Amino acid sequence: MSLRVSEKSSLSNWRKNMTDWAVSFKGMFNWRNKEVIYPTKEKKKSAAITKKEAPQKPVDLFEKCYNFTRADDVKAAGLYPYFRAIEENEGPVVQIEGRKIIMAGSNNYLGLTAHPKVKEAAIKAVEKYGTGCSGSRYLTGTLDLHNEFESRMAKFMGKEACLLFSTGYQTAQGILPTLVQRGEYIVTDKDNHASIVAGVVMAKGMSADFVRYKHNEMNDLERVIKRLPLEAGKLIVTDGVFSTSGNIVDLPNLVTIAKKYNARILVDDAHAVGVIGKGGRGTASYFNLVDEVDLTFGTFSKTFASLGGFVVGAERIINYLKHHSSALIFSASPTPASVAAAIAALEILEAEPERIDKLIANANYMRKGFKKAGFKIIDGKTAIIPVIIGDDMLAFQLWKELFDNGVFVNVFISPGVPPGLQMMRTSYMATHEKEHLDQILDTFIKAGKKFGLVA
């Protein structure tokens, strides 16, 4: 693709801004390594001296916002892939900017957001309960619908109890700082989802401790956990299916280590429920380890075609969370329409497990197609297929080429992913038909050839 001069200068500005942004942002919180960076004593001391000696000058808190032009530069270059408004949504095909586009980046795994029964359940709930709950679960925000979802979900997942939150992100924040307290440890995979990272940061802020281990490396998990005090409570937290790579956690070895070091286990099954395990019961079920996993949390925003979050586990633990979790107690409960839609989606999941087979068959068809065409992908068994591009600019250009030719995917660039792993994160639905999949592949191959990614 040839760029106009103004686009080229925008792009070089953008490259520079991106680097500055990454450097300044990482000073506080390193998203790639998912860690909080604390100033060392020396740095604090030199900062204090500099402060005393340097002439004082007022600083505007908003300066960083005015200086942030990275997104504008990408927009000026015509390559901005984010916040694209969808005007109509049938599932595998959406309308954006008046054009029909095949969606290959949604987490609507079973394609239920457009299912007539799910829509009808949401509409009926609005008619019966109104549009919102206007209160937290703790006080005036509990509906019989919330209780119904909780008991059905607990049963589905083979656990004693379930607790609903307003989003999956909030669920992580509701669990981690509540359960892991002063003198106790969170042991977390370096590639865990941002919601877990936020929960860990919150728990740390409330005096808990945490240690991290290399992504899905059980030797490293053992290395870090064996150094922790025997008498300290420990919670190992991991994604079941990692959201960027689609990798499945090595749960059997994780369980062995948890038992050896007396740790509890929390699994984030956002991308696993409805995708892997018996009848879509998630990661623990996939490995036949339902009784060994203490807590599993998930979201309505993927398989359940709605908005909300949940955690399942033993009744005593759920009861404790119910009475101590500030993310639950001080935030309004999920809307009637959201919960009714999720109940309908759960019913469909239970009644039609063949949808999962179709989802996995679709993803396998795509994996085979990408590999045959010569694309570098992260192989796997889930609904997520990352196609590795390896360069920020190339990733944006390829994204635009795919978009202009009718395919929507998610583009992940650095520092969100490590350099070299910049990718098109593609994901599939049970409702993609073969024509959709062939068109996605065909468009990828044409674009891949144009940018020299495949021969």
Ligand X SMILES: Cc1ncc(COP(=O)(O)O)c(C=O)c1O
**What's the closest the beta carbon of residue 194 comes to ligand X, in angstroms?**
8
The answer to the question of residue 239 lying near ligand X (CB under 6 A) is: yes
Secondary structure class of 376 (helix, strand, coil): coil
Q: Rule CB under 6 A: choose which of 309, 313, 380, 448 binds ligand X.
A: 309
CB 386 within 8 A of CB 425: yes
Of the pair 309, 336, the CB lying nearest ligand X is at 309
DSSP H or E segment with residue 369: helix 354-373
Angle between helices 392-404 and 434-450 (to 10 degrees): 130
**What's the closest the beta carbon of residue 211 comes to ligand X, in angstroms?**
20
Is position 323 annotated as part of the catalytic site?
no
**What's the closest the beta carbon of residue 215 comes to ligand X, in angstroms?**
14
Kindly tell me the sign of the dihedral angle through the C-alpha atoms of 409, 340, 165, 345.
negative
Of the pair 283, 397, the CB lying nearest ligand X is at 283
CA distance 252 to 54: 57
Of the pair 309, 448, the CB lying nearest ligand X is at 309
CA distance 75 to 72: 5
Of the pair 91, 174, the CB lying nearest ligand X is at 174
Q: Rule CB under 6 A: choose which of 136, 195, 335, 410 binds ligand X.
A: 195
The answer to the question of residue 191 lying near ligand X (CB under 6 A) is: no
What percent of the chain is helix, strand and coil (3-state, nearest 5)?
Answer: 45, 15, 40
Is position 51 annotated as part of the catalytic site?
no
Give the range of 42-50, 58-66, 164-172, 178-186 binding ligand X by CB under 6 A.
164-172
**What's the closest the beta carbon of residue 256 comes to ligand X, in angstroms?**
24
Is position 302 annotated as part of the catalytic site?
yes
**Cα atoms in the Cβ-side hemisphere of radius 13 Å centred on 247:** 15
> Annotated catalytic residue: which of 34, 115, 271, 432?
271
Site string for ligand X, 29-48 (x = CB under 6 A): --------------------
Which residues, numbered 350-409, are part of the site for ligand X (CB under 6 A)? none
Q: Rule CB under 6 A: choose which of 137, 193, 234, 358 binds ligand X.
A: 193
CA distance 101 to 21: 32
185-189 and 309-313: which strand pairing?
unpaired
User: CA-CA distances (angstroms) from residue 172 to 61, 155, 179, 348?
Assistant: 29, 21, 11, 26
DSSP H or E segment with residue 265: strand 264-268
The answer to the question of residue 106 lying near ligand X (CB under 6 A) is: no
Which residues, numbered 264-293, are part of the site for ligand X (CB under 6 A)? 268, 270-271
CB 113 within 8 A of CB 429: no
Which residue, among 257, 274, 429, has the nearest Cα to 351 in the 3D structure?
A: 274
Of the pair 153, 373, the CB lying nearest ligand X is at 153
Q: Which two tokens stand for residue 399?
A: 């994204």
> Annotated catalytic residue: which of 136, 166, 243, 306?
243
The answer to the question of residue 168 lying near ligand X (CB under 6 A) is: yes
**What's the closest the beta carbon of residue 168 comes to ligand X, in angstroms?**
2
The residues, ordered by sequence, that sit 6+ positions from 311 with a Cβ below 8 Å of its Cβ are: 162, 163, 165, 171, 174, 175, 295, 296, 297, 298, 318, 321
Of the pair 184, 268, the CB lying nearest ligand X is at 268
Residue nearest to ligand X (CB): 168
Of the pair 301, 382, the CB lying nearest ligand X is at 301
Q: Which two tokens stand for residue 105?
A: 């980046």
Give the range of 16-24, 163-171, 280-288, 427-435 binding ligand X by CB under 6 A.
163-171
Q: Rule CB under 6 A: choose which of 167, 247, 283, 333 binds ligand X.
A: 167
The answer to the question of residue 299 lying near ligand X (CB under 6 A) is: yes
Of the pair 189, 268, the CB lying nearest ligand X is at 268
User: CA-CA distances (angstroms) from residue 299 to 72, 164, 271, 337?
Assistant: 32, 9, 9, 15
Number of residues that bind ligand X (CB under 6 A): 13
Give φ, ψ of 191 to 5 degrees: -105, 15
Name the site residues for ligand X (rule: CB under 6 A).
167-169, 193, 195, 239, 243, 268, 270-271, 299, 301, 309
Active-site residue numbers?
A: 243, 271, 302
